[in-house]
Chains A and B, each alone.
Chain A
Amino acid sequence: MEAVPVRVRAYVAGVALSALTCLLPLPGTHTPWPAVALLAALYAGGEHVLRKRLGGTFYPVLLAGAFLLPPAAAALVPLPGALLSHVEQRPQAVRRVWRAAELALAVWGAGCAHWVLGGRDAVVGCEFPYALLPCAAAVLAFCTVLALLDGGILAVAVGAPPTPFGQRGRVPVQRAWRGLLARSLAPIGVHGLAGLMMAVLWRSPYGPVAALLVLLPMCVSWWVFAQYHREQAAHQATIRALVQAVDIKDGYTRGHSERVGQASVMIARELGMDDERVEVLRFAGILHDVGKLGVPTRLLRKDGPLTPEERRIIELHPEYGHEMVRGISFLGEARAAILHHHERIDGSGYPYGLAGGQIPESARVVAVADAFDAMTSTRSYSRARPVGAAVEELRRCAGRQFDAGVVDALVRALGKEGWHPAVTADVCQPGAPASGRPKGDRESVGRGAP
Chain B
Amino acid sequence: MIALRGIRLAALLLALGCLAGTLWAGLDDRGAALAFGVLVGVGEWGRWTGAEVREAAPLGAAGGLAYALLGGDAGVATHDGAFQVVTVVCAASLLGSVPHIACGRRPTLDHLARRVLTVGFAAVCFQPLYSRGVLEQWGGPAYALLLIALLVLTALCDVVLAAAQAHSRTGWRFGPLLRDELRGLLGIGSAVCATGAVMALAVAVVGLWALPVFCLPLLLTQLSLRRYAAVRATYRQTIASLARATEIAGYTPAGHARRVATLSQAVGRDLGLSGAELTVLEYAALMHDIGQLSLVDPVQAGATAVLPAEEQRRIALLGGAVVRQTGVDAAVAVVVERQADPYREQPVAARIVRVVNAYEEKSRDSGPGGPLTALEELRLATAGDYAPEVVESLARVLSRDCLTLRAAG
Contact = CB atoms under 8 A, between A and B. Distances in A.
Interface of A: 126, 128-129, 132, 190, 193-194, 196-197, 200-201, 204-210, 213-214, 216-218, 220-221, 223-225, 227-228, 231-242, 244-245, 249, 290-291, 293-298, 320, 323-325, 327-330, 427, 429-430, 450
B188 A213 contact: no
A213 B140 contact: no
B188 to A, nearest CB: 7
Nearest to A216: B194
Contacts, number: 182
Given A194-B217, A238-B235, A228 B198 contact: no
B327 A207 contact: no
Given A225-B224, A328-B237, A210 B326 contact: no
Contacts of A239: 238
A295 B246 CA distance: 10
A238 B191 contact: no
Interface stretch (B10-18, B142-150, B305-313): B142-150
9 contacts: A129-B209, A201-B201, A207-B141, A209-B144, A214-B194, A237-B325, A242-B242, A293-B249, A327-B240
B74 interface: yes
B231 interface: yes
Interface in B129-186: 139-141, 143-145, 148
Contacts of A193: 213, 216-217
Contact of B191 (A200, A217, A296): A217
Nearest to A204: B205
Contacts of B198: 197, 201, 210, 213-214, 217
Contacts of A224: 187-188, 221, 224-225, 228
A217 B199 CA distance: 12
B185 to A, nearest CB: 11
A221 B217 contact: yes
B296 interface: yes
Contacts of A220: 187-188, 190-191, 221
Nearest to A223: B187
Nearest to A218: B217
Nearest to B296: A297
A429 B249 contact: no
Contacts of A235: 231, 234-235, 238
Nearest to A132: B213
Contacts of B210: 128, 197
Most A CB atoms within 10 A — which of B145, B249, B250, B293? B249
B190 A298 contact: no
Contacts of B48: none
A207 B144 contact: yes
A204 B72 CA distance: 13
A238 B242 contact: yes
B248 interface: yes
Given A228-B224, A234-B327, A201 B205 contact: yes
A204 B201 contact: yes
B11 to A, nearest CB: 27
Most A CB atoms within 10 A — which of B235, B298, B328? B235
A190 B140 contact: no
Given A224-B187, A450-B224, A207 B218 contact: no
A206 B190 contact: no
B197 interface: yes
Closest 4 CB pairs of A and B: A237-B327, A205-B140, A216-B194, A128-B209
A132 to B, nearest CB: 8
A366 to B, nearest CB: 19
A128 to B, nearest CB: 4
B217 A429 contact: no
B206 interface: yes
Contacts of B241: 324-325, 327-328
A317 to B, nearest CB: 10
A294 B328 contact: no
Given A238-B328, A320-B248, 10 more contacts: A128-B207, A220-B190, A228-B228, A237-B325, A244-B325, A245-B322, A296-B297, A324-B248, A328-B238, A430-B321
Nearest to A240: B327
Contact of B249 (A223, A295, A298, A450): A295
